Amino acid sequence: MPIDFSVEPEFQEQLDWIREFVDTEAVPLDLAFGGEEGIYNKAHPVWAEVVRPLQEKVKKRGLWACHLGKDLGGLGYGQTKLALMNEILGRSGFASSLFGCQAPDSGNAEILAHYGTEAQKETYLEPLLNGEISSCYSMTEPQGGSDPNVFKCKATRDGDDWIIEGEKWFSSSLRWAKFAIVMVVSNPDVPIYQGASMFLVPTDTPGLEIIRNTGMAHEPPGHGGHAYVRYNKVRVPKENLLGGEGQAFKIAQTRLGGGRLHHAMRTVGAVRRLLDMMAERAASRTTKGSLLADKQGVQEMIGRTWLDLQQFRLLVLHAAWTVDQVGGSAARTEIAAVKVMTPQVYTDAAYRCMKLHGALGVSNEMPIAGMWLGGAALGLADGPTEVHMTTIAKHVLKNVEPTTTGWPSEHLPERREAARARYADILERTLTNE
């Protein structure tokens, strides 16, 4: 099957419009209102006055919430087209909000679209898709994230209700969310992958306590929208169960595969921005009698970044194309590969960019250090890199046949002996003629 990343002229026209829109509308919002409060707090004045009118322009172009399939109310764009869109959106923090695909809302919307009841969709999905509210995904716990076997937050039945009790750490955007999707242990007597469930919890439910909000390392203490939260016997009706009992991990996979590809392609856009900054700095700064651009070491940094970017971009596009062809489950290895490379390529490019800018590069007067930290965070989000590296290794090893002779199959003496036996007649004639 031929691999083709090309798009129709009509969609290319859309991509060109997105690029112009991001540069002229989204980037200025980053500069004026950047930070999580501006992006996630929909009560902020900038939303009513600027963001929502811009979202209407996106909707009129038919580019709103494109990550949803046609059966879920979206446009049915495949992952390849979404990747090309996200490459552009990755240049701006605000861009995803303008296009209705801001995490965690985008992933939560997919979950609700796939598994929500009609009542749940009306209450939570519709206002989420309309950009009226924000949501939270509450999974990681203080003592564990990648290993759900250590999860302690639990839900127990009490008549027609469920009671949720326990703590969650770094619950994304809870500070401004109207509801959270919470993963809890609902049956401790079976393996966690069959004993965890998801619940919709309105953030004004009695007993939901934000112990403190936390942010990224460059944000002041007490700021940021990621919550350390305690569920103090939070009571929710049985109607708030999402999907069925024990389906939490099946549901979670709905949001994670595509999300990893989207994060990766936005990283492509971010790395391209870093490369642009590197090139501009090299062409502008003189030291020791010549431009930085003339220094071999600087050329190596820029060349390496370009190569990393091109290789990574093709890896992501191929993964997206594979998902379009065979589905997300069959493309687990390709998605895992993308997840592994995303933080590596991002942080490497950001570090080179910081070095080229010197003290300015690590200061708060350039976006570079914050981008570096964002790249590092992507090595943890949606599962640590090491877990996905294991997935790749298992795929490689799955169909490998062990040798039976005690020697590797590429052991030259054995291979050479077999080859000589195959061509014995020719070898004998050659030796005789000599």
- What are the tens digits of pLDDT across the range 403-434? 998 899 999 999 999 999 999 999 888 877 66
pLDDT (0 to 100) of residue 133:
93
Q: Are 250 and 287 in contact (CB under 8 A)?
A: no
CATH architecture of 9-116: Orthogonal Bundle (1.10)
pLDDT (0 to 100) of residue 434:
61
> What class is the 135-242 domain?
mainly beta
SS3 151: coil
pLDDT (0 to 100) of residue 430:
83
Q: Are 341 and 315 in contact (CB under 8 A)?
A: yes
Under-50 pLDDT residues of the chain: none
pLDDT (0 to 100) of residue 428:
85
Surface-to-core class of residue 187, CB atoms within 10 Å of its CB (0-12 exposed, 13-18 middle, 19+ buried): middle
> What class is the 250-397 domain?
mainly alpha
pLDDT (0 to 100) of residue 21:
98
SS3 212: strand
- Identify which of 56, 178, 52 has the alpha carbon closest to the alpha carbon of residue 112: 178
pLDDT digits (tens, 9 = 90+) for 333-391: 999 999 999 999 999 999 999 999 999 999 999 999 999 999 999 988 877 888 889 99
- Identify which of 237, 177, 181 has the alpha carbon closest to the alpha carbon of residue 210: 177
Tokens 């949606």, residue located:
382
pLDDT (0 to 100) of residue 70:
78
- Hey, where are the domains in the chain? 9-116, 135-242, 250-397
Looking at this protein, which amino acid is placed at residue 17?
A: W
Tokens 């969709």, residue located:
121
Please give the model's pTM, rounded to 2 decimal places: 0.89
pLDDT (0 to 100) of residue 1:
59
Looking at this protein, which amino acid is placed at residue 289?
A: G
Q: Are 373 and 216 in contact (CB under 8 A)?
A: yes
pLDDT (0 to 100) of residue 131:
85
